[in-house]
Structure 1
Amino acid sequence: MARFAANLTFLFTELPMLERFGAARRAGFEGVEVLFPYDLAAPELASAAQAAGVEFVLMNTPPPNWAGGPRGFAAVPGGEERFRRDFDRALRFAQALRCRHIHVMAGRAEGEAARQTFVENLRWACARAPHASLLVEPINPGDMPGYFLADFDQAVEVIDEVGAPNLGLQFDAYHAHQITGDVLSCWDRHGARARHIQIAGAPGRHEPKAGEIDFAGFFRRVDALGYRGWVGAEYMPATTTEAGLRWLRDGSA
């Protein structure tokens, strides 16, 4: 069975960031994700993770300016210099945090020029950091209009075109549901490429429990495939984080 990581950007937000690591471990999580950790010093974050006994599993590019700002630059023609500068900063953070995966964000773009920009930037990043696990993630257009990578078939085609051993798929069950309407079939087609999974319920992007996604069936498929990676809990609690953690404690997801 996969291990669960708490996305600390979404969960335990009633606490300061450095206190969320311990709260996550006490709740039963063994790992953590932080989407954009750049507002704090990397040594402070690394110390908090180490003290709590959790692994730092995932972070995103780019830093920072997320609120109302661009959603990445990897597929944006003309943004190559900004992407490479941001990637190097993300890489320094990931190394300091001993972070397992870096999600490379494509940004808002469209067309063939955007695709070629994305492929070329990913090739550059994979060659620059051959020791790092880099991921791309399809994001549904309802949550992020205009985002370049909004289709799982497209994501796999890009991964194949880049052809780098350290590039893989980030499979978010919530986005898969929003994009395809059938998480299980989407997993059957593309799960073998997944190096990291994220979960949230639908509708609402709340706790992964009863709703439109068959999480029991999904995890049976995940186990059947032999997936041994992490599963990131990237959802917005319906009330408080603690009140909604029954799915983790009793395996009811």
Structure 2
Amino acid sequence: MPRFAANLSMMYAELPFLERFEAAARDGFEAVEFLFPYEHSPQDIATRLQNHGLTQALFNLPPGDWAAGERGMACHPGREAEFAADLDIALTYAQAIGCQRLHAMAGLLPAGVSFEMARGVYVNNLRRAAERCAPLGITLLIEPINTRDMPGYFLNFQQQAHDIVTEAGAPNLKVQMDWYHCQIMEGDICRRLEKHLDGVGHIQIAGVPDRHEPDEGEVHHPFLFDRLDALGYPGFVGCEYRPRAGTSEGLGWLKRYRATRA
């Protein structure tokens, strides 16, 4: 059975952030993920994880000025030093909380920069960052994101991401496959999963098209969960969705799936 991680940036939003760890553990999650931890100390997060028996599955490098619309900078010429410094910050957190997966957001394609130039910067940044992560046992991830939710984002397609990973040539660089983004951009999730599984380092889910619980919409998640088991996927499945109402009240999909596969 897949191992599910609650995304604490979207789930349990009815609670203060540091209280969400206990709520996730109480609901039966064995792991958590979130976008950014940087408003809280590494020790505060590590204490919550330890107290509630949780694994930190994933978090993102600093994204630049999020409030101003920045969504990472890994493909931005001229910001290589900033990207490297932000990686150091993320690694400090990762080591303190025992997290083995970091997501480096590509960023929006900068105005006046060609796709080819941005791609070269991106690959070089990823190669260096993965090299920095490797001795620490950390896998660096990149994620294709749909253009409806994030217009202008550099990385949008599964094959595009895996081609970049191949070019970077780092064994600890993998793709974060979010089925929500994949379905919106290209569909055919099962076959893409089968084709690229060896290069997938993390999976995320949400209902399509509204990004609520994975029990409605276009994607039949129980079928895909079973395929993960059949394929031997070893990682976590991050629940990166916005609950329709209360988070705990919306977990019927998870309870039903676990009951039928017990």
Letter in 2 for 1:61: L
Give the Cα separation in 2 of the matches to 1:43 and 1:66.
Answer: 24
SS in 1 for 2:56: strand
Match in the other structure for 2:191: 185
Give how far 1:173 is off: 0.7
TM-score between the two structures when normalised by the length of structure 2: 0.93
Matched, 1:132 2:138: yes
Match in the other structure for 2:214: 208
SS in 2 for 1:38: coil
8 Å Cα contact 2:64-2:71 kept in structure 1:
no
Matched, 1:197 2:235: no
Identical pairs, percent = 49
SS in 1 for 2:257: coil
SS in 2 for 1:50: helix
Matched, 1:116 2:127: no
Letter in 2 for 1:207: E
Letter in 2 for 1:247: W
8 Å Cα contact 1:61-1:102 kept in structure 2:
yes
CA RMSD of aligned residues (A): 1.5
SS in 2 for 1:170: strand
Give the Cα separation in 1 of the matches to 2:173 and 2:205.
Answer: 21
Matched, 1:28 2:28: yes
Runs of 4+ in 1 over 4 A off after TM superposition: none
Size of the aligned set, in residue pairs, is: 253
Q: 1:205 to 1:68 in 2, by over 3 A?
A: farther
Give the Cα separation in 2 of the matches to 1:37 and 1:119.
Answer: 25
- 1:149-168 correspondence runs (5 A): 149-168=155-174
Give how far 1:65 is off: 3.7
Match in the other structure for 1:144: 150
Deviations 1:183-203 (A, max 9, x none): 222212222321111000011
Give how far 1:178 is off: 0.7
Give how far 1:63 is off: 5.1
Unaligned runs of 5+ in 1: none
- 1:1-253 correspondence runs (5 A): 1-62=1-62, 65-109=65-109, 111-130=115-134, 131-251=137-257
Give how far 1:64 is off: 6.1
8 Å Cα contact 2:64-2:73 kept in structure 1:
no
8 Å Cα contact 2:205-2:238 kept in structure 1:
yes
SS in 1 for 2:20: helix
8 Å Cα contact 1:39-1:64 kept in structure 2:
no
Give how far 1:34 is off: 1.5
8 Å Cα contact 2:18-2:48 kept in structure 1:
yes
8 Å Cα contact 2:11-2:243 kept in structure 1:
yes
Unaligned runs of 5+ in 2: none
8 Å Cα contact 1:123-1:162 kept in structure 2:
yes
Give how far 1:248 is off: 1.2
Deviations 1:84-106 (A, max 9, x none): 11111111111111112100110
Deviations 1:56-77 (A, max 9, x none): 1100012564234311011111
TM-score between the two structures when normalised by the length of structure 1: 0.96
